[in-house]
Amino acid sequence: MYRITAVVMFLGLFLSAATWAYSSQPIYPEVTSGEEFAFPRDHGSHDAFRTEWWYFTGWLETADGDPLGFQITFFRSRPEMATDNPSKFAPQQIIFAHAALSDPQTGKLIHDQRIGRAGFEIIEASQKDADVSLLDWQLTRTATGVFASKVTGQDFALDLKMEPSQIPMLNGENGYSRKGPKPSQASYYYSVPQLKVGGSVIHGGKKLAVTGRAWLDREWSSDVLPENAVGWDWTGLNFDDGSALMAFQVRGADGDAVYAGGSFRSAEGKQIILSPDDIQFKPRRIWTSPETGADYPVEAEFVVRLDGEWVRYHLEPMFDAQELSGAFTPTYWEGAVSTSGGRGYLEMTGYAGKIAL
Amino acid sequence: MTSVKQNVQSGLIWRWLFIGQLRAFPFRYIFAALSIAIGIALGFSVHLINASASDAFGDAVRNLSGSSDAQVAGATNLGFDEQLYPRIYRLAEVADVSPVIEMSAIFGGTGERVKLIGIDPFRAAAITPTLLGRQENSGEQSAGRTGGQTAFPINAVHLSDAAFTLSKAKAGELLKIRANGATHEFQVAGDLPGIEAGQAVAVIDIAAAQWRFDRLGVLDRLDIKRAENSTQSSLARALEKMLPSDARLSGAENEIKKRTSLSRAYRVNLEMLALVALVTGGFLVYSAQSLSAQTRQQQFALLRILGLQKNSLQRQLLLEGLALGLVGSVLGIILGYMSAYLILTIVGSDLGGGYFSGTPGPIDVTITAVFVFLGLGILTAMSGSFSPGRRAARLHPAQAIKASTGSLQNTEHPAWLPGILLLLIAGFLVWLPAIDGLPIFGYLAVAAVLAGAIWLTPWLARTLLTPLTGIVRRSVAFDLALHHILRSPAQAAAALGGIVASVGLMIAMVIMVSSFRTSVDNWLESILSADLYVSGGFVETSFDPDQQKQISQLPGIAVVEFSKTMNVSLDPRRPPVNLIIRPVQSSNYRLSLIDTTKQDIAGIPIWISEPAARIYDLQVDQNIRLPIGARGTSVYVAGIWSDYARQQGALVMESEDYDKLTGDFERSELAISLQDPENVDAETERLKRQIGNIAGSDPEISNAAGIRNIALQLFDRSFAITYGLEAVAILIGMVGVGATFAAQVGTRIKEFGMLRHIGFGRRKIIAMLAYEGMLLGLVGLAAGVASGLAISQILVHVINPQSFNLTMNTSIPYIVLLGISAALLVTSGLTAIFAGRRAAATNALRAVKEDW
C-alpha cells in the first residue's frame, strides 16, 4: 500500500474533476475479504480498481562486488472521468512508471519516470499476466515465471530478470490487507520476496553485469487512506536464510500510528500475520534533506511481535540521501537499507508535508 | 602651384568648391538629398515592417511546435486516421510522438476566434511543453513543486492570455467553445504560461476534442521527437515512406517559409516602389551635378591649368555625390524607422494587405540592413554624379576657360540608338519567366524601358519640337524658348530625366491599379448571383443534413444551396489551397470560367482557379490526385476560372462528388435566392433569426451588394498605403525637378541681361521662360506617358501574373491621366514663371557686366 504515494498525486488531479458534471462515472469495485487469488491471472492488471502497482525493490551487486540499490515500479490508475467518451484517447487507464538507482559510491540516487494514458498498444497493461508496456519501458513475465523489466532513464538503464525462488506471500487475510479502521480501507496485496536477480545496469556511462536479490509487491485497491493519515513507513526485507518480513504503519498528524500491519514468513514457508498491536516503528537517527528541508528517520527500528516475542530490526540506510521527487510524485524517502542478516527497502512518506488525497 | 597642390591634397579646395555651390544653389541639393532620403525611407520601412511581421509569425509557429524535430500534418481539414500515431511511434527513428487535434474555434458569448488545440498532456510534456496548462488556485503539492504544469482534467480548458482577453472568461468559470459544428462547455482551469503574448490559443484534452467536436478516429497533427541515434534526414525519409496520401510531412520552418512565400510578391512590389523613389533621387542628383559642373566649368578649367589631374575632377564630383548620398541615406533610415514604427502601431504589420494577422513583434533593426540601405543610397547618389563628372573631366581646359558660364552648348544630334536598344532589350525581357516566383526580368524590363525613355528624351524633344519652328511665328518669346531648348538638348535632358521617371512610374501604377480594380469588380459581379450568403465563418459553424433540410423549408426562400470551404495541401512546400464544395454552376453559384474541357472524361471533375493552375502548372483535362482518403483521390481538371480572392489557389468540387468520396454531409456556408428579392433587408433579419435558431448560433448573413462593397473596400485599403507612399515620392520628385529648372534659369542671368539690352521687356522674358517650362513639360509628359503605358503593360501582363498568378484586363483611367497631365504642365509653367521672376528682377546691366 505504501506505493500509493506516487499514484495519489496524479490521481488527485483527476479527482478534482469529480465535481464537474459528467454523464457517467466509473464504478470502482470494493475490496472485500474472502476473494481467492489465481495466478497468473492476478499477476495481470485489475482494470476496474482505482489503483494498482507492480513494485520491485532490491539490492544488486556488480562484478566488482559494488552494491547498488534499485527500484522499478509500474502503476496503473483508473481515473474518474466520463466513461462514455468513445475516443480512443480517453484516459480509461493511466500507466505510470518510476525507476531509481542508488549508488553508495556517489552517495546519490538517480531516477526517471514515464507516464501516459493506455491505448494504441503503445501503453498497455495486460489483464492476463504481468505484462505492462509504457512507451519504451517494459515489464513482462516469461513462460517460466521470470519477471523481466527494461527501463531506460536519463543517465541510467536497468535490464533485469527476476526469478521467484518462493511462492507469493499473501499479506493480511489471504491477500485482503487492511489499511485503516474501516473494513473498506483495504487492498488486495501479495508480495514475492527472495527474487533472484540477474541482468545489466547502465550506470555512469558503463554497462555493468549485475546479480542480486529483489522484492515484488503487488497491490490493487479502490478506496483511499483514513482521513487522519499524513503518511506512512514501510519496509520489505529479504533475509539471508530465506525468510522475509514486510511491515508498515500509517501515521497520523501527531506522529503516532493510525494503523499498522505486516507479514513474516520463515524460510520453511511458515507465515505470521502481524496485526496493528504487533508493530512499532522507532526513529533512531534523523537526516535533514538539503533540498526540501524535510527530516527523515533514515535510521530506524521496526519492532515486531513474532509468536509473542518482540524482535528488533534495526534498519541502516545504504546512504542517507535517498529522497525522491518528480513531476508526478510527491517528495518522499525510499532507499536501500540493511539489517543484521538481511537487506531490503524502506519507504517513508508524509515527512515533507501531508500527502494530498 | 605647390600651394594649390597642397590644398588639393588637404581637400581644402574641394570643400571650398562644394560648399560654395551648396551656398549658391541650396535647393537643388536639398531636393536631391531629400529624394534619396524618401527612397531609402520607403525601402527601409517596408523591410522593417516585413521583418517584424515574419518574425512574429515565425515565433508563433515555433512556439506552438515546441521542440519537435518533425511534424506530420493532415493534408486537409479532415485530418488523417489516428492509427498513424502508433505506426509512427514504432519507427526506429522516432523517440516520442505527441498527437494533436487542431481546429479553428469561436468562443460562445464573445464570438471571438481562437485556435483550439487538443493534446494528450502526457505526450506533449516532452515535445511541446508550451502547450501545457497551469492549474489556477491549485492546492496540490505537485502543482507547487513542478511549476504547476501538470495533467489536467478532461473537461478543462486552458487559455492563453490573449484567449482570456478574447473570451472574457475567468478561471473556474464555464466557457462555451464552438468548433466543427458543435458547441461544448468547458471549465476554465488555468492559463498557458508557455504561449507567447498576442496568440489566442485554447488547449483542451485530446479525448475531449475528438469526442465533443466530432473528430473521433482522426488526428490533425503529430509532433515528433527524433530518436537520439537517428538523423533529421533519416527521420524525414522514414516518415515520407510510410505517410498515407492524406498526411504530409511538415515542420515549423516549412510553415514559416510557406507563409512568407504568400506575402513575398506583395513585399517585393512595395520594395520596388521604394526603388522607384530612389531612382528618381538618382536622376535628381544627376541633374543637380550636371548643372553644377556646367556652372563651375571655368573653375575646373582653371584648376586643370594649374596642374590638376583629370581624375581628381571626377573624384571631386563623385565625393560630392557621396556626401549627398550619405546625408540622404541617414535621413532616410531615420525616417524609415519612424514610419515603420508608426505603421506597425497604427495600421498593422500587413500594410493593409491582409497577409499577416496577430500582433507584430518589436522592430528589430539589424546592422546589416542599415548598412545595405545606407550603401544603396550612397551608390545611387554616386552613380548620379558619375557621368557629369566624366563630362567635366573630358572638357579641354583651354576651351572651357574661355567659354562663358553655361554657354558651352551641345549642338550635335542627340544619339537615339542606345535608347532604342534599351527598349528592344525590354521587349525581349518581358518574355522571360519568373525566377523562383519573382518577376525579376519583369522589373529589369521596367528599368530598361525607363532608361531607354530617358535616353531618348533629347531626341524626342528635337523630333517633337522641330516641326513647331515652322508653324508658330506669332510670338518672339515662344520662338526664343523653342530655340533655346532645341539648341541645348543635354540641358533639357537633365531636367527631363526626373520628370520622365516619376511621371512614367506614376502613370504605370495608376493604370495597373485601375485595371486590377476593374477586373475584380467585374469578377465580383459575375460570381455573386444569389441574393444572400450565409456563413458560419470558416469551419466553426456547420449545418448537418437535418439542419440543411430545415433551412431549405424556411418560408421566403426560392432556392438555397449549401457549400463548404476547407484547406487542402497539394504540395507540402506551399500554402494549402482552398477546396470549395458546392454546386458548380447553379442559380446561386457561378464560376467565371476562362477555360473548360471539351471532352467527355469519366471520373471526378474539379474546377481550378487561375492562380491554382499557374502555381501547380495544371491544364484542362489533366489528372491530379487530391489528398482525400488514405490512398488519395484521382480527379481531373474540368475547367479553369478566374479568381482574385484566393492567392494561394482554390479548387471547386461538385457537392455530390464530395459526399460520395467522404460521407461528410456537413456544410458551413449557404447561398439563398429570395422569393422577394426587393425586400432584402427585412428578409435578411428574419432569416438570420430563423437560421440562427436552427444552427444554435447566429450566422453571418451578407447580401451580394454588401459582399461586393466589402471586397472593394478591402482592395482599396490594401492599395491605399501603396498610393500614399507613391504620392509622397512623386511629389518630392516634381518639386526636385522644379528646383533643377529654377537653378538652370539662374545660370542664364547674362542671357536675360542681353535680352533686356536689346529691348526685351521683363514680361516677355517671363513669358519666354513659361513657354520653355511648358514645352519641356510637354516633352516630359509625352515621354512619361509613353513609357508609363509601356510599363503598365509590363505590370499587368508580366509582373502581376508572375507574382500573384492572376491575369487582368487593361483599363485606362483617362480622367486621372488627364488630371496628371494638366497638373504637370501647369506645374512646369508655374515653376518657370516663378524662376523667371527672380531672374528678370536682377539689374540687367549688372547682369551683362558680371562676366567682365
pLDDT digits (tens, 9 = 90+) for B597-637: 887 778 889 999 988 888 888 888 888 888 887 788 889 99
Report CB contact under 8 Å: A121, B86. yes
Extract the runs of DSSP E, i.e. beta strands, from B455-540: 532-535
Interface test with B, best of A13, A80, A291, A324 (most B CBs within 10 A): A13
DSSP B76: B
User: What integer is the mean pLDDT of B423-452?
Assistant: 86
| Interchain contact A331–B (C-beta under 8 A) | yes
Report CB contact under 8 Å: B120, A14. no
| Interchain contact A91–B (C-beta under 8 A) | yes
CB B196 within 8 A of CB B76: no
For residue A90, what are the domain limits? 4-348
Q: Calculate how close chain A gets to B546, using CA atoms only, in Å.
A: 23
Residue A4 has pLDDT above 80, yes or no: no
Residue B722 has pLDDT above 70, yes or no: no
pLDDT digits (tens, 9 = 90+) for B537-553: 444 567 888 888 888 88
pTM for the full predicted model: 0.69
Kindly indicate the confidence band of residue B569, based on its pLDDT and cuts at 50, 70 and 90.
Answer: confident
Q: Which pLDDT score is estimated for A310?
A: 94
Q: Quote the cell numbers at residue B606.
A: 474539379
Total residue length of chain B: 852
- Flag the least confident range among A165-169, B269-273, B370-374: B269-273
Report CB contact under 8 Å: B145, A331. yes
| Residue of chain A whose Cα is closest to the Cα of B147 | A327
| Interchain contact B210–A (C-beta under 8 A) | yes
Mean pLDDT of chain A: 87
| Interchain contact B192–A (C-beta under 8 A) | no
| CA distances (Å), origin B184, targets A16, B213, B543, B681, B740 | 20, 8, 16, 32, 71
Contact list in B for residue A329 (CB cut-off 8 A) is 142
Q: Which pLDDT score is estimated for A296?
A: 93
Mutual angle of helices B310-346 and B297-305, in 10-degree steps: 140
pLDDT digits (tens, 9 = 90+) for A275-328: 999 999 999 999 999 888 889 999 999 999 998 899 999 999 999 999 987 666
Residue B493 has pLDDT above 80, yes or no: no
Which of A85, A86, A122 is opposite residue B89, by nearest beta carbon?
A122
Contact list in A for residue B206 (CB cut-off 8 A) is 87, 89
Contact list in A for residue B140 (CB cut-off 8 A) is 9, 12-13, 356
Does some domain include residue A266? yes
Give the C-alpha separation, A225 to A249, whole Å.
12
Q: Which pLDDT score is estimated for B119?
A: 92
Contact list in A for residue B217 (CB cut-off 8 A) is 88
Mean pLDDT of chain B: 78
Report CB contact under 8 Å: B122, A16. no
Contact list in A for residue B210 (CB cut-off 8 A) is 87-89
Share above pLDDT 70 across residues of chain A, in percent, rounded to a whole number: 90
| Residue of chain A whose Cα is closest to the Cα of B90 | A122
Kindly indicate the confidence band of residue A219, based on its pLDDT and cuts at 50, 70 and 90.
Answer: very high
- The complex's ipTM works out to 0.86
Q: Quote the cell numbers at residue B202.
A: 485554447
Q: Which of residues 232-291 of A touch B (CB under 8 A)?
A: none
Give the C-alpha separation, B612 to B595, whole Å.
13
Report CB contact under 8 Å: A13, B140. yes
Which of B83, B120, B140 is opposite residue A117, by nearest beta carbon?
B120
Contact list in A for residue B156 (CB cut-off 8 A) is 17
Q: How is chain B split into domains, by residue range?
A: 1-64+262-408, 69-250, 455-529+705-852, 537-698
| Interchain contact A349–B (C-beta under 8 A) | no
| Interchain contact A26–B (C-beta under 8 A) | no
Q: Which pLDDT score is estimated for A334?
A: 92
Q: Quote the cell numbers at residue B301.
A: 578649367
- Enumerate the H helices of B296-439 as residue ranges: 297-305, 310-346, 367-394, 397-402, 417-429
Q: Quote the cell numbers at residue A77.
A: 490508475
Q: Quote the cell numbers at residue B43.
A: 525601402
| Interchain contact B152–A (C-beta under 8 A) | yes
Mutual angle of helices B440-471 and B252-295, in 10-degree steps: 30
Higher-pLDDT residue of B508, B19:
B508
Does some domain include residue A310? yes
Higher-pLDDT residue of B304, B432:
B432
User: What integer is the mean pLDDT of B147-161?
Assistant: 66
User: What integer is the mean pLDDT of B557-573?
Assistant: 83
Residue A18 has pLDDT above 50, yes or no: no
Does some domain include residue A353? no
| Interchain contact A95–B (C-beta under 8 A) | no
| Interchain contact B153–A (C-beta under 8 A) | yes
Q: Give Cβ neighbours of residue B442 (< 8 Å, ≥ 6 apart).
A: B429, B430, B434, B794, B795, B798, B799, B802
Does some domain include residue A356? no
Closest CA to A328 of B146, B167, B208, B847: B146
Q: Which domain CATH number covers A254?
A: 2.40.370.10
Which of B86, B139, B154 is opposite residue A81, by nearest beta carbon?
B154
Residue B177 has a CB neighbour count (10 Å cut-off) of: 24
The sign of the torsion formed by the CA atoms of B249, B252, B255, B260 equals negative
Q: Quote the cell numbers at residue A336.
A: 536501500
Q: Which pLDDT score is estimated for B540?
A: 53
Q: Quote the cell numbers at residue A107.
A: 552517495
End-to-end CA distance of chain A: 14
Which of A85, A115, A353 is opposite residue B211, by nearest beta carbon?
A85
| Interchain contact B806–A (C-beta under 8 A) | no
Residue B293 has pLDDT above 90, yes or no: no
Contact list in A for residue B122 (CB cut-off 8 A) is 94, 115-117
Q: For chain B, how long is the longest CA-to-CA vector?
A: 106
Does some domain include residue A246? yes
Report CB contact under 8 Å: A89, B151. no
Annotate B128-164 with b (16+ C-beta within 10 A) or e (fewer): bebbbbbbbebebbbbebbebbbbbbbbbbbbbbbbb
pLDDT digits (tens, 9 = 90+) for A327-351: 666 788 999 999 999 999 999 988 8
Higher-pLDDT residue of A280, B486:
A280
Which of B120, B123, B154 is opposite residue A17, by nearest beta carbon?
B154
| Interchain contact B155–A (C-beta under 8 A) | yes
Higher-pLDDT residue of B24, B560:
B560
User: What integer is the mean pLDDT of B714-736?
Assistant: 66
Q: Which pLDDT score is estimated for B763?
A: 81
DSSP A119: B
DSSP B263: H
Report CB contact under 8 Å: A117, B86. no
- Looking at the 3D structure of chain A, how many domains does it have? 1
Share above pLDDT 90 across residues of chain B, in percent, rounded to a whole number: 9
Report CB contact under 8 Å: B146, A331. no
User: Please, which residues bridge with residue A317 across strands?
Assistant: A337
| Residue of chain B whose Cα is closest to the Cα of A94 | B122
pLDDT digits (tens, 9 = 90+) for B203-246: 999 999 999 888 999 999 999 888 888 887 888 889 888 888 88
Interface test with A, best of B94, B154, B157 (most A CBs within 10 A): B154
Q: Which pLDDT score is estimated for A265?
A: 95
| Residue of chain B whose Cα is closest to the Cα of A9 | B142
Closest CA to A273 of A304, A242, A252: A304
Q: Calculate how close chain A gets to B219, using CA atoms only, in Å.
A: 11
Residue B23 has pLDDT above 80, yes or no: no
Residue A43 has pLDDT above 90, yes or no: yes
